[in-house]
Structure 1
């Protein structure tokens, strides 16, 4: 029997999942109905009885999963790796050991890959679909939308209007935007004018940040915090758009990636790379009234206009376009990935102090680019040190109306 036959049998073979019920399987780690994947990193709340597939010799099991991982390079075929991780605990453990991060292999596999930095060499290419009727935005993996509508959904966002701000709630699925759900990954919050944005992550960038927050935060007491995870959002980045009141022109934006040090883009530097999602919220101890508290790990002066070199956070700026005399418009080289002129189009590069020892090619390297290719369809290409979640949140800020910035 070939290895692909084994994987195909895993989908339908009842004995391969022991005595699991249909409800337990649906709550496990894959929901094919919505074409999304739910984290196999998070262990089920109820113990799963091991089936006959768990009794394979470790050496044979390791070889099976490694061959499947090597052969299935892209979606939708890559879901075979997810099926392997969903069989039982031993298969999931080995799959997590074999599957590498996007930085190392350039592939998106488990949901935690969306929180990990992208590859250093070539960008990961995605596209965004906007639905104006219900104010939702869907991020898909791939170059352009496919005709059979079998695109791989990575993240979804919904715009929620408030009195003095707007929130873009980001989720792993397209039908659940509740902040109490385990599919909630973060949000983007704007001010009234749409010139300042804050990216909030549902999990801290690292363990040290949690200790720092618990030590210095005074916004909530210990009784309001779940013993598993704080019931709050973590401020990981801020985005600001310059005011353009007299002269009209392209937008000018700055991003302060507070969770990414500037050393990440230097030789030998690394960006924070989470390995798993936090445990579920404790419903008894988490607060459901009012707004979720936001913990910031940045210095107090980050609310002002960013100044490169002020601290060790990574600064990004949009690449200045050039004026095309024949077309009579501002232009950027998107290398064929953007085909429609729009004020929303942008490219982000590192904004570092001249004293920082950084090669010239790194200073000009496009870390994130976003642009329009059709009605309500946009491309999004990102690379290291940004993650898919961070890149998607930055692109969402471009969708918001900014009458004072253009």
Structure 2
């Protein structure tokens, strides 16, 4: 291209820009612009262009095989994050990943955040540990046998303790630096009475989303008919924990009962199933997609405790709620202390240690093996480190909040 031709084109371009500026924003001026200018099309939205990426155009058979192989190979955290990454590629990948990944009751693995609200496996328990920080009154639940040297364990839930004149609050969140009641990371809370003898667990998720999987080919039954369609955050009472009052101040272990209002006794009977939420609310899912990992962050201080809204107790229709009780320890003459068989998961003696089993009447037709099965186990293994092992029909959220009640001071029980 010659130098004269370059100068001529630059001159024409300069004149075209000047003409547009003189006409000043009229709609007809845009039509008179040189046809070589291409304006972006503002009618298309960003989400549509994302799903039109080459990744979303893979053959369904090939995509299914890829995600199946990833899901089968990634069994533990942090490698389990690869399965979540597949679900975050695009809409088509997300739908297939949800179909492949099973709930904890079926596979014994925790994958998506909703897994924390779903019942654990029936056979082997899911093993976790809790790290306590007395300075900030925070409690972090991690997935794993015990703290690892590399600090790469998966953070499941976090809780912070708030004190009031008449009660104590534990606010449970998905992250370690946000404990506001209005936050989309809030999953529930635990509240005590004045004496520290009675606790109530509140779930931020509406019982309309709780589903009982059907054992037959019929459609799944929902509990939406038994509760209002819209409930405010953290106002669904799903469990009541009661510690026995020690009036005589006698030495001995704590005695506790847990009434699970959201789980019927039929869940532990032969062929029974526990309510299983399939997803969080729509707004929760949209905001959770932008949530980043905050494992290494320090909890925020100065957060005001949430106000108590009107409560709604989850009802089960004609079904009787399931009751758990702590397993009675035996007195060891040589050690001169109360002992329980924790199978090596608890190494330090503490009044907080406990095991929960079912407390049912003979008329409920629950097998003796099911009655003796330890559903939740909690105990101390080091300074501010505690183990937590839970199984069906409890979820990680329910088990964590029950363990939080053991941390609170109970002057009337000890």
2:186 corresponds in structure 1 to: 184
The one of 211, 227, 252 aligned to 1:213: 227
CA 1:289–1:188: 2 relative to 1, 3 Å: closer
1:354 corresponds in structure 2 to: 362
Matches within 5 A, 1:151-170: 151-170=153-172
1:96 corresponds in structure 2 to: 98
- 1:355 match: secondary structure: helix
1:35 corresponds in structure 2 to: none
The one of 332, 337, 340 aligned to 1:324: 332
Instruction: Return the offset for 1:245.
Output: 2.1
1:129 corresponds in structure 2 to: 131
CA distance in 2, matches of 1:143, 1:232: 30
CA distance in 2, matches of 1:103, 1:259: 17
The one of 48, 51, 54 aligned to 1:52: 54
Matches within 5 A, 1:395-406: 395-406=403-414
- 2:369 match: secondary structure: helix
TM-score (norm 1): 0.79
The one of 251, 258, 267 aligned to 1:264: 267
Q: Which moved more, 1:198-207 or 1:102-111?
A: 198-207
CA offset digits 1:147-201 (Å, max 9, x no partner): 1111110000000112211110000100111121111110111111111000100
Instruction: Return the offset for 1:293.
Output: 2.1
Instruction: Return the offset for 1:113.
Output: 0.3
CA 1:46–1:171: 2 relative to 1, 3 Å: farther
CA offset digits 1:303-346 (Å, max 9, x no partner): xxxxxxx9610000000000000000000000000000000000
CA distance in 1, matches of 2:281, 2:235: 13
2:119 corresponds in structure 1 to: 117
Q: CA RMSD in A?
A: 2.0
The one of 356, 380, 404 aligned to 1:372: 380
Asked if 1:279 is matched to 2:279, the reply is no
CA offset digits 1:5-64 (Å, max 9, x no partner): xxxxxxxxxxxxxxxxxxxxxxxxxxxxxxxxxxxxxxxx98362222111111111110
Please say if residues 370 and 395 of structure 1, whose CA atoms lie closer than 8 Å, have aligned partners that are also in contact: yes
Aligned length: 334
The one of 369, 376, 398 aligned to 1:390: 398
- 1:47 match: secondary structure: helix
Q: Which segments of 5 or more consecutive residues in structure 1 lack a partner in the other structure? A: 1-44, 216-224, 282-287, 300-309
CA offset digits 1:320-373 (Å, max 9, x no partner): 000000000000000000000000000000000022211111110000000000
Instruction: Return the offset for 1:231.
Output: 4.2
2:173 corresponds in structure 1 to: 171
Matches within 5 A, 1:26-41: none
Please say if residues 130 and 387 of structure 2, whose CA atoms lie closer than 8 Å, have aligned partners that are also in contact: yes
CA distance in 2, matches of 1:172, 1:289: 16
CA offset digits 1:367-404 (Å, max 9, x no partner): 00000000000000000000000000000000001111
1:294 corresponds in structure 2 to: 311
| Larger-gyration structure (1/2) | 2
CA distance in 1, matches of 2:60, 2:319: 48
Instruction: Return the offset for 1:298.
Output: 4.5
Asked if 1:255 is matched to 2:272, the reply is no
TM-score (norm 2): 0.77
Instruction: Return the offset for 1:291.
Output: 2.7
CA distance in 2, matches of 1:289, 1:149: 31
CA 1:59–1:258: 2 relative to 1, 3 Å: same
CA distance in 2, matches of 1:298, 1:165: 25
CA offset digits 1:182-225 (Å, max 9, x no partner): 1111011111111100010011334554443328xxxxxxxxx6
CA distance in 2, matches of 1:165, 1:46: 48
- 2:363 match: secondary structure: coil
